[in-house]
Amino acid sequence: MAVIDEKLKDLIDGFHEPLDDELRELRESDESEGVPLIMRETEAVLRLLLGFVKPRRVLELGTAHGYSAMFFAKMLPDAHVTTIDRNPYMIDTAKERFASYSEGSRIEFRTGEALETLESIRDEMAASDDALRYDFVFIDAAKSHYKDFLEIIEDITTDNAYIVCDNILLKGWIVEGEGKEAKRHRTNIKYMRQFLEYIKERQDLEVTILSSGDGLAIIKRK
Ligand SMILES: C[S@@+](CC[C@H](N)C(=O)[O-])C[C@H]1O[C@@H](n2cnc3c(N)ncnc32)[C@H](O)[C@@H]1O
């Protein structure tokens, strides 16, 4: 079960216009190599949100080959972007790719398990000033751990930060977890359901759920 009908998806994707030719090429290259990257619809929502919010410090969980990190850096010419991935090959590829891009100097790459890296960032921040807190976070890795991530992210973000979680509808399996493919993802489905219940119960958070792409949760403190 797809979140939306394929024909509708094609129609919506037809409106996608890359920010520039470099991002166009990066998307084409990732798609042709089967490298995971944000869907066009997801990019459209992020673009709208970033245009309104104009964050200064962006934190991303899940770099892959760095498409979205570069998108953040290009969208926000004054922002610092930190991106985390546990796979050293992914980080090395992204670093290599961006060595010649002017935006590359504003992207900080961290290799490691997202949870452990978040803990390190929290420790580092405890000894530094509040100016280092992030005001925009994009979670796009390890779908079973969103709740654990959120707990730490709340410690390292500003009061008015936006936290955007990708893939929260898991191709629709979140409501209909039947079939062979869904069964293979049952752990993710179970934990994502728990995460959605958790953020729904949290009265101190403002949560917006969108069906765009593979489903997005946009979270902000009230
Ligand atoms: C969907 S891809 C990220 C795509 C990227 N945000 C983009 O749009 O270009 C997810 C990435 O998360 C990484 N990942 C998965 N589990 C992780 C974990 N527990 N800690 C850190 N990175 C993880 C994978 O190695 C993969 O590169």
* Ligand 1 probe mutation, 83, 85, 121, most atoms within 8 A of CB: 85
> How do beta strands 205-210 and 57-61 pair?
unpaired
Spatial contact of 101 and 80, defined as CB atoms under 8 Å apart: no
Per-residue pLDDT 10s for the chain (222 aa) are 567 788 999 999 999 999 999 999 999 999 999 999 999 999 999 999 999 999 999 999 999 999 999 999 999 999 999 999 999 999 999 999 999 999 999 999 999 999 999 999 999 998 887 899 999 999 999 999 999 999 999 999 999 999 999 999 999 999 987 788 888 899 999 999 999 999 999 999 999 999 999 999 999 999
Spatial contact of 185 and 179, defined as CB atoms under 8 Å apart: no
**Ligand 1 binding residues, C-beta < 6 A:** 36-38, 62-64, 67-68, 84-87, 90, 113-114, 140-142
Q: CA torsion, points 141, 127, 88, 65, in degrees to nearest 10?
A: 50
CATH architecture of 6-221: 3-Layer(aba) Sandwich (3.40)
Domain limits of the chain? Answer: 6-221
Q: Give just the sign of the alpha carbon dihedral 13, 54, 85, 222.
A: negative
Q: CA torsion, points 93, 40, 73, 122, in degrees to nearest 10?
A: -80
Spatial contact of 101 and 126, defined as CB atoms under 8 Å apart: no
d(CA 179, CA 175): 12
Q: How far is the CA of 143 from the centre of ligand 1 (A)?
A: 10
Give the amino acid at 42. T
Note the residue count of the chain.
222
Q: How far is the CA of 149 from the centre of ligand 1 (A)?
A: 13
Spatial contact of 81 and 73, defined as CB atoms under 8 Å apart: yes
Q: What is the pTM of this model?
A: 0.97
Task: Indicate which residue's Cα is closest to atom 26 of ligand 1.
Answer: 64
Task: Indicate which residue's Cα is closest to atom 12 of ligand 1.
Answer: 62
